[in-house]
Amino acid sequence: MTTEPKDLRGELDGLVEARPALAASVVEQAAARGRARLRRRRQMVVSGVVGAVLLTVASGAFLALVPDGADRGDGSLPAADSDSETAAVHGDSSQSAARLTEAYLEALENQDGAGIAALAPKQNDAAGAANEKVDRFGGRSAEEAHVESIPDFGGTVQRVRITWTGYSGEDEILLVEEGDAWHIALGENPDPGGPPPADTTEPAS
Amino acid sequence: MGLADEFDGVAHAIAPMLHRTAWLLTTDAHASEDLVQEALARLYVALRSRKHVDNPPAYARTVLVRLYIDQRRRRWSREVVTDCVPETTVGDDRAGGLSLWSALDGLSRDDRAVLVLRYYYDLSASEVAGELQTTEAAVRTRASRAAARVRKVLGPDFVVDRRMS
């Protein structure tokens, strides 16, 4: 008597049939885990914004202590406007950066494709799009928004520099690519040793 | 339909498929359940963060398989608690499942992932390569190595790929 040789597909089917039942709560728990992850991501970005604001306030306080006409230590001439105005400009810039970040997060949560694209510049016209978005959410006119890749990091980090019409301040935002998503990293430059290892478990959709 | 409803609908529909995949990769109840939950959590984040995910089932399965492979890189330890010894006599019909279990456990994570995608889901080498972010040549090498390992445990007559017989 001959028997048909077994095949792998059939054996795998048998193994699948013998698997234990999946807990009914797995979907709810996954949703809770996903919500917590989004919340943590939001908190991290907001913490970055708070840090940037504190740094700006500290630097503004330092400038306020330097008399008009004095060497400010950075080789630049004193600004024509008063120190208090300089501090105000820095403060405004950070606040608008915070608003920009909030707008980005809002766009993410609302699945606002245009908003995400504007602040996660992967297209060639990203500068224009970012400019429009900054203008819309920043509460004042953005003169220019420059988008540049930082080549040392293999294109995984992009820097967006925003200058304002009528203001001497400039905002700088770093967009860090993680997998297929972009995240705003404010107030700090990437580690010179390279970005943290990208999470490659999430495929491009 | 809201995002939460959309996720719930998709997640409940694809959870069994994800569980089958995770089970074939781990043959461990807790590990497979954790993989399913993590893959679904990432799908949740993706659905909330992006315009759309073209193919949620394929997306979630790819995440799950990559998570499984990634666990090795993170050096997560995993103990398999079992009350039966997997080593069995080659060709023993009664212990066929255990023999396959033993064969699968002898594979590296990459080889096992290739085996599951190639022979359970009937994906082409090109499709597997895309899913695992590797080359077709690497997939063929891994598939061949996995098949040899399975035949070594289950016997030379064991048919790994019906398409080739």
A181: β partners: A178
pLDDT value at A84 more than 80: no
**Mean pLDDT along residues B68-95:** 50
With contacts defined as CB-CB under 8 Å, which chain B residues touch A116? 50-51
User: Which of B16, B19, B120 minimises the CB distance to A9?
Assistant: B120
pLDDT of residue B33: 93
Q: Quick count: other Cβ atoms within 10 Å of Cβ A121?
A: 22
Give me chain A's average pLDDT, please.
55
Q: What angle do CA A71, A75, A80 make, to 5 degrees?
A: 65
Residue A122 has pLDDT above 50, yes or no: no
B17 pLDDT more than 60: yes
**Is the per-residue pLDDT at A65 higher than 60?**
no
Q: Please determine, for residue B78, whether its predicted confidence score (pLDDT) is greater than 70.
A: no
Q: Give CA–CA dist B136/B109, Å, rounded.
A: 17
Question: Among the residues of A74-112, which ranges form H helices?
Answer: 83-109
- Strand residue runs (E) in B43-128: none
Matching residue, tokens 């498929």: B17
B48/A108 CB distance under 8 A: yes
The answer to whether the Cβ–Cβ distance between A108 and B49 falls below 8 Å is yes
Residues linked to residue A144 through DSSP beta bridges, in sequence order: A163
* pLDDT, tens digit, 9 for 90 and up, residues B115-145: 999 989 999 999 999 998 889 999 999 998 9
CB contact under 8 A, A203 and B15: no
Please state at what angle helix A83-109 crosses helix A126-138, rounded to 10 degrees: 110
Which residues on adjacent β-strands are paired with residue A112?
none
pLDDT at A123: 32
Cα(A22)–Cα(B51) distance, rounded to whole angstroms? 30
Pairing mode, if any, of strands A170-178 and A157-164? antiparallel
- 8 A C-beta contact, residue A143 and residue A163: yes
Mean pLDDT, to the nearest integer, of B97-103? 76
Report the pLDDT value the prediction gives residue A125, as an integer from 0 to 100: 37
Q: Which two tokens stand for residue B127?
A: 């499709």
Residue B107: φ, ψ to 5°: -90, 150
Q: Quick one: pLDDT at residue B14?
A: 94
Statement: residue B64 has pLDDT above 90: yes
More confident residue, B121 or A125: B121
* pLDDT tens by residue, A16-61: 998 999 988 899 989 888 888 877 776 666 555 555 555 555 555 4
- pTM attached to this predicted model: 0.54
**What is the rounded CA–CA span in Å between residue A104 and residue A112?**
9
Q: Which residue has the higher pLDDT, B17 or B51?
A: B17
Higher pLDDT, B150 or A199: B150
Indicate whether A162 pLDDT > 60: no
Q: A93-102, A180-189, B39-48, B83-92 — which one is most confidently predicted on average?
A: B39-48
Strand pairing partners for B163?
none
Kindly tell me if the per-residue pLDDT of A95 is higher than 50.
Answer: no
Mutate to test the interface with A, among B49, B98, B117, B161 (most CBs of A within 10 A): B49
In B88-147, the residues whose Cβ lies within 8 Å of chain A are 96-97, 100-101, 115-116, 119-120, 131, 133, 147
The residue of A38, A177, A201 whose CB has the most chain B CBs within 10 angstroms, and thus the best one to mutate to test that interface, is A201
Interface of A with B (CB under 8 A): 5-9, 11-12, 14-16, 18-20, 22-23, 26-27, 29-31, 33-35, 37-38, 108-109, 111, 113, 116, 180-181, 200-203, 205
B63/A6 CB distance under 8 A: no
Count how many Cα atoms sit within 13 Å of the Cα of residue A74 in the half-sphere of its side chain.
Answer: 8
- Of A125-134, A150-159, B57-66, give the lowest mean pLDDT range: A125-134
3-state SS, residue A20: coil
pLDDT digits (tens, 9 = 90+) for B29-44: 999 999 999 999 999 8
CA neighbor of B42 nearest in space, from B75, B70, B80, B77 = B70
- Could you tell me which residues are beta bridge partners of residue A157? A176
In angstroms, the separation between the Cα of residue B14 and the nearest Cα of chain A is 10
pLDDT tens digits along A98-114 = 555 556 556 555 555 55
Between A191 and A46, the higher pLDDT residue: A46
pLDDT score at A83: 30
The pLDDT of residue A71 is 41
Which has the minimum average pLDDT: A38-52, A122-136, A189-203? A122-136
Q: What confidence score (pLDDT) does residue B157 get?
A: 74
Whole-number Å distance between alpha carbons of B9 and B57: 12
Average pLDDT over all residues of chain B = 80
